[in-house]
Amino acid sequence: MEPVTLRTERLVLSIPTEADADAITSACQDPEVPRWTTVPSPYTRQDAVDFVALVAGWWAEGVETVWAIRFDGRLAGMIGLHRIAPHPHGGEAEIGFWGVAEFRGQGLMGEAALAVIDYAFDELKLARVAWRAVAGNVPSARTARGLGFRYEGMLRQGLTSSRGRDDGWVAGLLASDDRTPVEWPVL
C-alpha cells in the first residue's frame, strides 16, 4: 500500500520521515508517552530512525498505517491503524495515538483521529476499529469516547510493554455506528 496524506482543517497527516527523527525523539522524552504507550524508554534518536524505517515497511506490507500529525508544520503527535486485518465481510484494525505535550488539550488528536477513522471505513472498507489503552489513561479514553467509540470492557493484564503487563480498557467503533458519544463506566 502506498502512503496516503490526510488533511483536516488544521492538520496534515503524513508518513513520518527521517527528517522527523529529532522531533520524535524530543516528544518521546515526555514521561507521559512511554507511560501510556509501548515506545522504548529511554528513547533515543536511533529508536526514532528505526521507527521511521519500520513505518515505511508497514505501509508497504499493508499491515499498519502510521501518520505524523503536523500542526503548522510541526510534529504534534503520531497516529495509526495497527494490525489491519482485511476480511470479506469488512476488516478491522486498532487505532493508536500519542500527542506532543505542548499540543495537548487543543482537540488536535480528536481531529486527527476522525480523519483516520474516516479513512479506515471509507477507503480501507473496515467494519470495525478497536481502541485499547492502559487502564487509567483518561485523556485517551476521552478522545475515543468523543469519537463515538463504545466501551467494551477491561482486559485484565491484557496489555504488554517493556513495563510488563497492564490492565487495559477496550472500546470499539463500527462503520455502522452513528458516532454519537455515549457514557463510559470508567469516565
Whether the pLDDT of residue 14 is over 90: the answer is: yes
Q: Is residue 183 part of a domain?
A: no
Q: What does the mean pLDDT of the chain come to?
A: 96
pLDDT, position 161: 84
**Range(s) of the domain holding residue 104:** 6-174
Question: Are 82 and 76 within 8 A, CB to CB?
Answer: no
Give percent above pLDDT 90 in the chain: 95
pLDDT digits (tens, 9 = 90+) for 125-168: 999 999 999 999 999 999 999 999 999 999 999 999 878 999 99
Q: What would the mean pLDDT of 93-110 be, rounded to a whole number? A: 97
Q: Is residue 168 part of a domain?
A: yes
* Three-state secondary-structure class, residue 7: strand
Q: What would the mean pLDDT of 22-36 be, rounded to a whole number? A: 95
Comparing 11-20, 23-32, 40-49, 158-167, the range with the smallest average pLDDT is: 158-167
Question: Are 66 and 79 within 8 A, CB to CB?
Answer: yes
pLDDT digits (tens, 9 = 90+) for 55-78: 999 999 999 999 999 999 999 999
Q: Is residue 1 part of a domain?
A: no
Cα of first residue to Cα of last residue in the chain, in angstroms, is: 37
Q: Is residue 186 part of a domain?
A: no
- What total of structural domains would you count in the chain? 1
Q: Is residue 147 part of a domain?
A: yes
Give percent above pLDDT 70 in the chain: 100
Q: What would the mean pLDDT of 165-182 be, rounded to a whole number? A: 97
Q: Is residue 116 part of a domain?
A: yes
3 pLDDT band (50/70/90 cuts)? Answer: very high
Q: Is residue 184 part of a domain?
A: no
pLDDT, position 163: 80
108 pLDDT band (50/70/90 cuts)? Answer: very high
Q: Is residue 25 part of a domain?
A: yes
CATH number of domain containing 11:
3.40.630.30
Reported for 161-167, long-range contacts at CB under 8 A and 24+ positions apart, including other chains, are: 161/37, 161/38, 162/38, 162/40, 162/41, 166/134, 166/135, 167/134, 167/135
122 pLDDT band (50/70/90 cuts)? Answer: very high
Please give the model's pTM, rounded to 2 decimal places.
0.95
